[in-house]
Structure 1
Amino acid sequence: MNKKVVIVEDDRLLTIVLRKMATSMGYEVLATCPGGRHAIEIVQSHKPDLVIMDILLADDVSGIEAMKAIRNQSTVPVVYITAQNDAKIRREASSIENSAYLLKPVKVSHLQEAIQTVQFAA
């Protein structure tokens, strides 16, 4: 049985790339979405094994805020993928349990390592 993932990313091209990466690693991509509000709903309804989450999203809910809301009901591991290398944002993202943080551009090998890190922590 394939592990299931939800991808939250507002860049369409990167969403396609992340979908291909996840599929190549044996994940079934349940859904993709560009915004934090929708991400909360999707994760609650689909119950994925993993969330790949950008931090700056298309709506007014950041990836970190979305994960805080998701954490109220789920311990699903999250891998943040972001262009934000700000120490404050990194600290805030790292405060979410069972999370990893990758900077764009993402390599498949780095994504695999990050996923292994959060899965072993789960």
Structure 2
Amino acid sequence: MKRKVVIVEDDRLLSIVLKKMATSMGYEVLATCPGGRNAVDTVEEMNPDLVIMDIMLADNISGIEAMKTIRNHSDVPVVYITAQHDLRIKKEATTVANSAYLLKPIRMNQLQEAIQTVQFAA
């Protein structure tokens, strides 16, 4: 049975690239979401095995805020991806349990390693 992933990314092109990466790693992509509010509802509804989450999103809810809300009902592992080199953001992101943090642009092997890290922590 394929593991399921939800991708939260507001950049359409990157969303497509991430979907291809996840698919080539054997994941079934359940949904791609552009915003935090949408991500919370989608993860709650679809119950994925993994979330790949951008931090700066299309709506007014950051990926970190969205994950904190998701944590109220799910321990799903999360891999954050961001273009933000801000240490404060990294610190806040990694306070969310069972998370990994990658800086854009990301490579396939980095994503694979991050996924393994969070899945073994799960």
TM-score in terms of structure 1 length: 1.00
Instruction: Give the gaps of 5 or more residues in structure 1.
Output: none
Q: Match for residue 28 of structure 2?
A: 28
Question: Match for 1:10: what amino acid?
Answer: D
Instruction: Give the gaps of 5 or more residues in structure 2.
Output: none
2:102 and 2:4 mapped to 1: Cα distance? 20
2:87 and 2:81 mapped to 1: Cα distance? 15
- SS of 2:57's partner is coil
1:4 and 1:33 mapped to 2: Cα distance? 14
How large is the Cα RMSD of the aligned pairs? 0.2
1:39 and 1:85 mapped to 2: Cα distance? 23
Moved over 3 A (4+): none
- SS of 2:61's partner is coil
Give the C-alpha shift of residue 85 in structure 1: 1.1
Aligned length: 122
1:64 and 1:85 mapped to 2: Cα distance? 15
- SS of 2:97's partner is coil
Q: Match for residue 88 of structure 1?
A: 88
2:20 and 2:44 mapped to 1: Cα distance? 23
How many percent identity over aligned positions?
74
- SS of 1:73's partner is coil
Question: Match for 2:15: what amino acid?
Answer: T
Q: Match for residue 112 of structure 1?
A: 112
Q: Match for residue 37 of structure 1?
A: 37
